Copies of this chain bind each other. A is one copy, B any other.
């Protein structure tokens, strides 16, 4: 019984990712989409808070959105997995519910 959380806003502008990380439970998954993909960046003012949940929570980034924004995978935090839209579908199917942090 676990939840897929989606975050679609930049963590540098909006507190959605932080609130998501504060509410997701161990074993949940967080998928960063749209402007939310910036949450995957390493060496930012948010990076430590995101990295602190890796392991307890499975973190994913939607690669088409990352590519559009010029985010190379090598710039991302270790432990964040990239998925395409089919991977997004699998994540939805594999978790009991999806919660969008709009």
Contacts and interface: CB of A to CB of B under 8 A. Distances in A.
Identical copies in the complex: 2
A88 to B, nearest CB: 25
Contacts of A12: 15
Interface residues of A, number: 5
Contacts of A15: 12-14
A47 to B, nearest CB: 17
A12 to B, nearest CB: 7
Nearest to A10: B15
Interface of A: 12-16
6 contacts: A12-B15, A13-B14, A13-B15, A13-B16, A14-B14, A14-B15
